[in-house]
Amino acid sequence: MKIFIDGKYYSEQNAKISVFDHGLLYGDGVFEGIRAYHGRVFKLKEHIERLSHSAKAILLDLPMKRDAICKAVLDTCRKNDLRDGYIRLVVTRGVGTLGLNPNRCKRPSVIIIAGKIQLYPEEMYRKGMAIVTVATTRNLVNAVNPAIKSLNYLNNILAKIEANIAGVEEAIMLNQEGFVSECTGDNIFIVRGNQLLTPPLSSGALYGITRGVVMELGAKRGLEVAEVNMTRYDVYNADECFLTGTGAEVVPVVIVDGRKIGAAKPGRWTRRLIADYHALTKVSGEPI
């Protein structure tokens, strides 16, 4: 595997960053997870735009222009002969001192890893998954805003630990008001009648790229797509439930906190949206 670090390529064994990098010391930086399908990088420009927005929110000046980052992502895929896989794009604050002050970091670092990912077992896409609600609250928007895809993922990790303890792969996180926000690494949707519903971004949900794609696909299918505040009661009584994310794609949920969702199997709209998503990934994206 060849890994891009600040304009050069290194083997997996020789790809290193300084122990004084503030991305390591303080989680000071931003990242994107991107997918490649059939020799194309899916929604690359949208991912780079979101990276830029995250960087702007933390006053991190990207050391490369957007077009140059796009090119570096594609070049890294070529270097690794990657046609189908997962790309992790990371921008750290860079090398600094042991103090918090980001102004002590002279130059941000850009890291690109192109490899493989398998978030959930294949069986869960066919039969659906069980999830639980956890006690860990989603970050407040006036603390570490969840819209920022930062390197500090402890909020999500603490929730993931609770999911692990409960023996499930994913968990619903509520916001400070008790409304459903998102899962530890995915956005959440429910289907109710002819409605496709997902929590609003103001709930603490990430500005999900896959979330946006699925909302568009749902509208094309004739579903009434809306962003609404929802409680666990709404999820429990939904006809269908599924999660979306770059790594997860679209994965059905059939049990939440021990309650069966609908018929306790992937619903017809979920199955259609999965098929629509896969069809789109076959024809859309930046050619590698």
* Concatenated DSSP letters of the chain: -EEEETTEEEETTT----TTBHHHHH--EEEEEEEEETTEETTHHHHHHHHHHHHHHTT---SS-HHHHHHHHHHHHHHTT-SSEEEEEEEE--B--SSS-GGG--S-EEEEEEE----S-HHHHHH-EEEEE-SPPPPPTTSS-TTS-BS--HHHHHHHHHHHHHT-SEEEEE-TTS-EEEESSSEEEEEETTEEEE--GGGT----HHHHHHHHHHHHTT-EEEE----HHHHHT-SEEEEEETTTEEEEEEEETTEEPTTSS--HHHHHHHHHHHHHHHH-SEE-
Q: Which of 180, 78, 176, 167 minimizes the C-alpha distance to 129?
A: 167
Q: What is the pLDDT of residue 249?
A: 97
Would you say residue 138 lies in a domain?
Answer: yes
End-to-end Cα, the chain, rounded Å: 17
Same domain, 135 and 277: yes
Same domain, 128 and 241: yes
Same domain, 133 and 270: yes
Q: What is the pLDDT of residue 118?
A: 81
Would you say residue 288 lies in a domain?
Answer: no
How confident is the model over 234-247, as pLDDT tens digits? 999 999 999 999 99
**Domain termination residue (choose one: 47, 82, 115):** 115
Same domain, 111 and 127: no
How confident is the model over 76-129, as pLDDT tens digits? 999 999 999 999 999 999 999 999 999 999 999 999 999 998 879 999 999 999
Same domain, 175 and 234: yes
Instruction: Show Cβ contacts of residue 57 under 8 Å, excluding neighbours closer than 6 positions.
Output: 145, 147, 148
Q: What is the pLDDT of residue 66?
A: 97
Instruction: Say which CATH number the domain at 182 has.
Output: 3.20.10.10
Would you say residue 223 lies in a domain?
Answer: yes
Same domain, 89 and 35: yes
pLDDT mean across residues, the chain? 97
**Domain termination residue (choose one: 84, 115, 146):** 115
Would you say residue 254 lies in a domain?
Answer: yes
Would you say residue 66 lies in a domain?
Answer: yes
Same domain, 68 and 130: no
Same domain, 183 and 140: yes
Would you say residue 159 lies in a domain?
Answer: yes
Residues with pLDDT less than 70, the chain: none
Which tokens in the block code for residue 248? 């997860």
Domain of 266?
122-283
Instruction: Say which CATH number the domain at 101 has.
Output: 3.30.470.10
**Domain termination residue (choose one: 115, 138, 165):** 115
Q: What is the pLDDT of residue 135?
A: 98
Angle formed at CA 42 by CA 38 and CA 48, multiple of 5 degrees:
145
Confidence (pTM): 0.95
With 0-12 / 13-18 / 19 or more C-beta atoms within 10 angstroms meaning exposed / middle / buried, residue 213 is buried
Same domain, 74 and 203: no
Same domain, 167 and 262: yes
Same domain, 106 and 188: no
Which tokens in the block code for residue 105? 């970091």
Q: What is the DSSP string of 198-242?
A: E--GGGT----HHHHHHHHHHHHTT-EEEE----HHHHHT-SEEE
- Residues marked active site are found at 149
For residue 75, the one-letter residue type is: D
Instruction: Show Cβ contacts of residue 280 under 8 Å, excluding neighbours closer than 6 positions.
Output: 213, 217
Instruction: Give the total number of structural domains in the chain.
Output: 2
Same domain, 210 and 230: yes
